[in-house]
Amino acid sequence: MMANRGLCLGVNVDHVATLRQVRGSTYPDPLQAAEECRKAGADGITMHLREDRRHVQEADVRAVRDWKGLPLNLEMANVPEIVKIALDVHPDEVCIVPERRRELTTEGGLDVVGQAARLRPTVEALGEAGICVSLFVEARPEQLESAAALGASCVELHTGGYCEARGEAREHELARLIAGARRAHELGLRVNAGHGINLENIKGVLRIPHLEALNIGHSIIARAVFVGIGSAVREILEIMAEYTGGERA
């Protein structure tokens, strides 16, 4: 993602599709949501095409890609069917995430160390196709080092632990994210972050150094119920504009 300011916002529109799928209707349309996000100043659109197709459908991904109003970041599991779709659709970026059928949302980072042999062909195929490859990881040195060794361009740090923690535990999680971002930067990886970020906790996230993008979905779509999606995006962007590059933010 590219932006005129230092920190980009990718809006995940999965839960627009969730509202549609729960009733089996034709609305609301993730593509329309993407356009509203663009008009509000977002820098990119994120969509997770799950194996079970619980929300976003392949047609949604293709529609947003054909629209080309903003760069598309496709979240996906490392499974042949979805890899094939990614190579055909050719999003600007792919973020490989762990995926379990019964989870409500992604529950943690990818085990890059343990799955390196399975990940390598996918990372190489996507990279050779000119797609930026990101891995969704915990901020642990061994995971970051393995991501760099595989040839990933970027990592997205899993912020869920920080966002869900309170008190001293939250400060501990933030320190881990800060250290992880520094290590990723040393390894030559671009650094994004996402999961669980909302208006209450985002200022802490902005203490993480070297960030290029935040990917935020559920909290923006939930807030949109009350203020509209454009206002929900602008609220987040207003706070993100305070980003100074890290710990002193």
Catalytic residues: 48, 75, 195
Q: What is the widest separation between alpha-carbon atoms in the chain?
A: 47
Taking a C-beta distance cutoff of 8 angstroms, is the pair 6, 33 a contact?
no
Report the candidate in 53, 90, 97 with the shortest Cα–Cα distance to residue 68: 90
Taking a C-beta distance cutoff of 8 angstroms, is the pair 15, 54 a contact?
no
- Structural tokens at position 22: 């729960």
Strand partners, 213: 8, 192
Q: Which amino acid is at 81?
A: E
Q: How far is CA 172 from the centre of its chain?
A: 22
